[in-house]
Amino acid sequence: MRRTDLLRILSLASDLGVGLAPEHGLRACYIGLRLAEQLGLSTTERRDLIHVGLLKDAGCTSWTTQIAAMVRGDEIAARRDILFFREFGEKRDVIGWATKFVGAGSPLPVRVGRIADFMVSGRDFMREGFESGGEVACRIAQRLGASDEARIALRSLFEQWNGKGMPRGLRGEAIPVLSRIVFVTSYLEAAHASRGREAAVDLARQRSGSAFDPAVVTAFEQLSQHDEFWRPLEDGSALPFVEGLLPDTTSDGIDEFAACCADFVDMKAYWLAGHSRRVSELAERVARRLRLPDARVREVRIGGLVHDLGLVAVPSFVLNKPVDEQSSAERAAIAAHGDILRRLFERFDALREIGEMASLHHERLDAGTKTADDDALVAAGIIAAANEFDELTHDAPGAPALDPEQAMSVLRSSLTGGPFAAAAAALLEEVSAGGRAVRGRQNWPAGLTDREVDVLRHLASGLSRKAIAGELVVSESTVRSHLEHIYGKLDVSTRVGAVLFAIENGLMP
């Protein structure tokens, strides 16, 4: 697969995560490349811009639980509104947004209090969200081979020309040029997609010299006068223009890409942290126990990593509800996540079968509907069994974790024949043989101590400093000191960055 294929899948998933139409990121990237060409940027800078443009929203899952808790509703819709259809540096727009979204599902007195709190502390809240999203996007870009320049740009995507942006309030040319270009393109594409050419041009002119770099706006105005500039945005032909600048193949990068997908979606909710990596690890062991061919084992490993990618389209507000509190529409949205994964992958030949296999992870592949001698269906059953076992043995909203013996008993009750039964039986053998060893060691990554790993795990589960102190029977100031040391050792600046490190390094139990 070409590198652009892998970046494009993450971009497509990010489009769902921010609530915009599929290929928003690709079309915005096309605009950015045309602007970079107009501004005289080098070929190297334009290649960097592709990484920035396609990964600009790769941190969009990092702050969704916090937004959901604040708005008490669909945080995807709330964030889309303030990011793409308002100017968050303008107080009037922020007040309008808060009135519409903050505490929307709460009684009126509670809602009024939440809106008042947001008007006092909302900017700090948003700044932390932008910083977290930038840190995660930067880390994912690094793992996918982006340059230092691209990663620096991803940390500054929401800075504004007039200094009213976030997270650092950079001004003018202190903002990396790639950030200035991609920031503009995100808004122009959204305006064009929803209201047409004139709306995009009007928006560029309105924000020139305030949020937008005037030089970038001038370049856009020049391009906008030519039909050939607009045509790829309107007839779906933007992809070849973007692909032409990254012609390299990268089949060896599929495993790291899949791990990025896993971490990207598992940050949608605290209780999901590390889930996809655990499913992949267990599924791979079961596949080897069943002596599947090496190529199929690799597909199972990758399928386990990506199986939940479709959840990016489901609001964290819904994911964090116990099942019995979800509406029928919310349950249907969650149930559709396998089909979303399949549709994301079906356009790429090298990943089509993996997407089909992983999309079945909530299906019961019994003998009445499937044949047991198809390796692909056995592989699908392995991912389904590993997913169910991990869900049973880890806390979820309204569903406390079972111990491994209880979980195995539940799985035994589902053995009804067919490839799911074969996979579940092999999983039971693997777990019974000690294959699910407790994650414990003395030499932790980055020089972390045992106590710091305990603190990091509690942090990743969503606990506050005060709650962590209660769990570990220490003072809150001790927890604060531990966190300062942890952040320093991990070279991160946000809670989300620390959580991502824990997931990447298998520190989640």
> What is residue 122's predicted lDDT score, i.e. its pLDDT?
87
Q: Mean pLDDT across the stretch 296-325?
A: 96
Mean local confidence (pLDDT), 312-338: 95
Torsion sign, CA atoms 313, 316, 322, 328: negative
Judged against a pLDDT cut of 60, whether residue 355 lies above it is answered with yes
Is 157:176 a contact under the CB 8 Å cutoff? no
Q: Quickly state the pLDDT bin for 108 (edges 50, 70, 90).
A: confident
Average pLDDT, the chain: 91
Q: What confidence category does residue 483 fall into, taking pLDDT thresholds of 50, 70 and 90? A: very high
Q: How confident is the model at residue 282 (pLDDT cuts 50, 70, 90)?
A: very high
Confidence of residue 418 (pLDDT cuts 50, 70, 90): low
* Sign, CA torsion 24/27/29/35: negative
**What integer pLDDT is reported at residue 203 of this predicted model?**
96
> Among 1-5, 53-57, 310-314, which is the least confidently predicted range?
1-5
pLDDT at 251: 53
What's the mean pLDDT in 290-296? Answer: 93
The answer to which of 49-63, 98-112, 231-245, 369-383 has the lowest mean pLDDT is: 369-383
Q: For each of the domains in the chain, give its residue range(s) and CATH number, in order of start.
A: 1-228 (1.10.3210.10), 251-432 (1.10.3210.10), 445-504 (1.10.10.10)
- 10 Å CB burial of residue 124 (0-12, 13-18, 19+) is exposed
Q: What is the mean pLDDT of residues 446-463?
A: 93
∠462-385-498 over CA atoms, to 5°?
Answer: 25
Torsion of Cα atoms, 443 then 449 then 454 then 455, to 10°:
-140
What's residue 247's pLDDT? 62
From first CA to last CA, the distance across the chain in angstroms is 33
Task: Show Cβ contacts of residue 344 under 8 Å, excluding neighbours closer than 6 positions.
Answer: 9, 12, 13, 309, 310, 355
Q: What is the pLDDT of residue 438?
A: 42
Q: What is the pLDDT of residues 115-142, one digit of tens each?
A: 999 888 888 999 999 999 999 999 999 9
Say whether pLDDT at 9 is over 90: yes
The DSSP-derived string for 189-225 is HHHHHHH-HHHHHHHHHHHBTTTB-HHHHHHHHHHHT
Residue closest to 348 by CA, chosen among 259, 236, 239, 262 = 239
Instruction: Provide the β-strand partners of residue 396.
Output: 399
Task: Please tell me the predicted confidence (pLDDT) of residue 439.
Answer: 47
- How confident is the model at residue 260, as a pLDDT? 97
Say if residue 406's pLDDT is above 80: yes
* Vertex 322: Cα angle to 61 and 60 (nearest 5): 5
Any idea which of 166-170, 186-190, 433-437, 456-460 has the lowest mean pLDDT? 433-437
Predicted local distance difference test score (pLDDT) of residue 127: 92
Contact 266, 411 (CB under 8 A): no
In the predicted structure, residue 241 carries a pLDDT above the cut 70: yes
% pLDDT > 70, the chain: 94
pLDDT at 310: 97
Name 432's Cβ contacts closer than 8 Å, sequence gap at least 6.
Answer: 408
Task: State whether residue 396 is helix, strand or coil.
Answer: strand
Residue 252: the pLDDT is 66
Query: How many angstroms separate the CA atoms of 28 and 55, rounded?
Result: 11
Helices 275-289 and 418-432, interaxial angle, to 10°?
100
Residue 478 confidence class, pLDDT cut points 50, 70, 90: very high
All residues at 6 or more sequence positions from 97 whose CB lies less than 8 Å from its CB, including other chains = 78, 81, 82, 86, 88
pLDDT value, residue 369: 45
- How far is Cα 476 from Cα 457, in angstroms, rounded to an integer? 16
- The answer to whether residue 265 scores a pLDDT higher than 90 is yes
Look at residue 436 in the predicted model and tell me its pLDDT: 47
For residue 85, what pLDDT band results from cuts at 50, 70 and 90? confident
The Cα–Cα gap between 499 and 370 comes to 40
- Which positions ≥6 away from 283 have C-beta within 8 Å? 300, 301, 303, 304, 382, 383, 385, 386
pLDDT at 371 (0 to 100):
43
Rounded alpha-carbon distances, angstroms, from residue 260 to 32, 55, 302 = 24, 11, 11
Segment 304-321 shows an average pLDDT of 96
CA–CA separation, 282 and 389 (whole Å): 9
The pLDDT of residue 103: 87
* Three state DSSP letters for 429-491: HHHHCCCCCCCCCCCCHHHCCHHHHHHHHHHHCCCCHHHHHHHHCCCHHHHHHHHHHHHHHHC
- Res 457: pLDDT: 93
**Residue 295 corresponds to which tokens in the numbers above?**
């190529």
Note the pLDDT of residue 123: 87
Q: Which of 195, 198, 201, 193 is nearest to 236 (CA)?
A: 193
Alpha carbons 86 and 76: distance in angstroms, whole number? 15
β-partners of residue 212 are: 208
Least-confidence region, from 188-197, 250-259, 478-487, 495-504: 250-259
pLDDT band at 437 (very low <50, low <70, confident <90, very high): very low
